[in-house]
């Protein structure tokens, strides 16, 4: 039954279920971890494991924590970007939306008194001080919702290419972030707001069974990843997304309201960017206009590394989570072998390009002969 198929005469047996490409990504992740472990061992250290005698632990907890935290916030953005890419679009605005949302959110999360003095960074008057935590969260999500809707409306109803539409929003949203407080940082949030990212949500969720202090972004990332994995796999939303990314004309012919669905997907991506902004400001206890710069590219890179096809229609949330893990391992790995930050950037760029080249190559391999 096997027939020659695609590039290099790869065998494709139509009776067999094709292996999920996520396994390849997972393999790459393991391989990269092993490589960094070996590189560290050569220098007498370890990438993953604890080498200090005075600490009783198997793993290098510090590095793992940093790695997980690094991946979580951009990972949340990447969940939304993934969905946008799957419907055949692109979202360049995510990083700037994080910046703008951060500024706005923080203005509603400030505390009135800092060390006995009035908050020196106060944006609004007393009415906006010491608000319940839910207020900045709602305001933040609303910001993301708005930005996402602008993206969605532009893409779905003006029919301009998503690249241009979201590029415009990217530039404008960064402008909003700078204009908000004339470029000044917004700082000193309430204790409750700081606890959003620095607290122990894992402990509350499991009634103290597990505790993971300071890793709330990671916990929320995992919860959101599971949620969107389920939504993309088992619900009409996912089916429509893949159908539109795969063949928009066919989707339209089949009665799918393509424009409305695009609006929904871009809006969800905007909200996820806002979630990231809330966690980021809570983590750092401050908001700056430059927050989230290049996050959109990191998020796209995570998705692409995870096997999401930029042509749309292919890829999965699991792939993106693995892609995010690879991304984070690479950065931590470079730090662990003391590669200079400048080189890191250069290599990061090369990896993004490499992943897209791989994606193109994969597409050609899969194209029917």
| Contacts with another protein, residue ranges (CB under 8 A) | 1, 5, 12, 14-18, 231, 234-237, 239-240, 242-243, 245-247, 249-251, 253-256, 261, 264, 313-314, 366, 368
Q: Supply the minimum distance, in Å, between the C-beta of residue 322 and another protein.
A: 19
Q: Strand (E) positions, 155-219? A: 186-187
Q: How far is the CB of 242 from another protein (least distance, A)?
A: 6
DSSP states along 296-338: HHHHHHHHHHTT--TTSS---HHHHHHHHHHHHHHHHHHHHTT
Query: Distance (Å, rounded) from C-alpha 277 to C-alpha 284?
Result: 11
Q: How far is the CB of 263 from another protein (least distance, A)?
A: 11
Report, in Å, the least distance between residue 309 CB and another protein.
8
Considering beta carbons, is residue 80 or 245 the nearer one to another protein?
245
Q: What is the largest CA-CA distance in the chain?
A: 79
Return the half-sphere exposure (C-beta side, CA atoms, 13 A cut-off) of residue 21.
19
Give 15 or 209: the residue with its C-beta nearer to another protein: 15
Q: Using the minimum distance from each CB to another protein, give the nearer residue, 121 or 362.
A: 362
Cβ atoms of residues 107 and 229 within 8 Å = no
- How far apart CA 313 and CA 362 sit, in angstroms, is 14
Please name which of 173, 28, 172, 163 lies closest in space to residue 99, comparing C-alpha atoms: 173
Give the whole-angstrom CA distance, residue 35 versus residue 339.
14
Closer CB to another protein, residue 17 or residue 52? 17
Which one, 82 or 215, has the nearer CB to another protein? 82
Q: How far is the CB of 61 from another protein (least distance, A)?
A: 38
For another protein, which is the closer residue by CB, 63 or 240?
240
Indicate the SS3 state at residue 286. strand
Minimum CB–partner distance for residue 251 and another protein (Å): 7
| 63 versus 314: smaller Cβ distance to another protein | 314
Least Cβ distance, residue 106 to another protein (angstroms) = 32
204 vs 134, 216, 218, 288, CA distance in Å? 17, 11, 15, 30
**Selection from 155, 118, 355, 175 nearest residue 259 by Cα:** 155
């Amino acid at each position: 039954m096997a027939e020659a198929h695609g590039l290099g005469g790869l065998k494709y047996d139509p009776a067999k279920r094709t292996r999920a490409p996520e396994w390849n990504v997972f393999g790459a992740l393991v391989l990269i971890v092993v490589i960094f472990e070996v590189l560290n061992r050569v220098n007498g250290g370890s990438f993953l494991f604890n080498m200090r005698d005075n600490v009783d632990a198997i793993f290098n907890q510090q590095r793992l924590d940093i790695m997980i935290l690094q991946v979580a916030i951009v990972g949340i953005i990447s969940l939304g970007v993934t969905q946008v890419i799957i419907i055949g679009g692109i979202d360049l605005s995510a990083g700037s939306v994080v910046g703008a949302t951060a500024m706005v959110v923080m203005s509603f999360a400030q505390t009135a008194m800092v060390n006995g003095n009035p908050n020196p960074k106060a944006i609004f008057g007393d009415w906006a001080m010491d608000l319940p935590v839910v207020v900045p969260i709602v305001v933040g999500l609303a910001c993301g919702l708005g930005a996402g809707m602008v993206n969605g409306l532009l893409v779905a109803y003006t029919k301009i290419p998503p690249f241009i539409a979201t590029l415009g929003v990217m530039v404008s949203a960064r402008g909003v972030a700078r204009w908000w407080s004339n470029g000044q940082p917004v700082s000193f949030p309430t204790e409750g707001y700081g606890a959003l990212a620095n607290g122990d949500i894992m402990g509350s969720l499991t009634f103290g069974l597990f505790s993971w202090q300071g890793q709330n972004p990671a916990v929320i990332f995992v919860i959101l990843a599971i949620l969107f994995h389920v939504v993309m796999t088992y619900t009409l939303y996912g089916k429509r997304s893949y159908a539109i990314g795969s063949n928009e004309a066919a989707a339209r012919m089949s009665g799918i309201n393509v424009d409305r669905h695009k609006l929904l997907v871009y809006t969800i991506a905007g909200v996820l960017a806002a979630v990231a902004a809330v966690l980021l400001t809570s983590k750092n206890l401050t908001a700056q206009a430059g927050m989230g710069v290049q996050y959109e590219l990191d998020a796209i890179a995570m998705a692409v590394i995870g096997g999401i096809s930029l042509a749309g229609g292919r890829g999965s949330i699991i792939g993106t989570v693995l892609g995010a893990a690879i991304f984070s391992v690479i950065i931590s790995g470079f730090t662990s072998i003391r590669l200079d930050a400048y080189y890191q950037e250069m290599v990061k760029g090369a990896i993004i390009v490499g992943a897209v080249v791989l994606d193109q190559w994969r597409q050609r391999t899969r194209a029917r002969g």
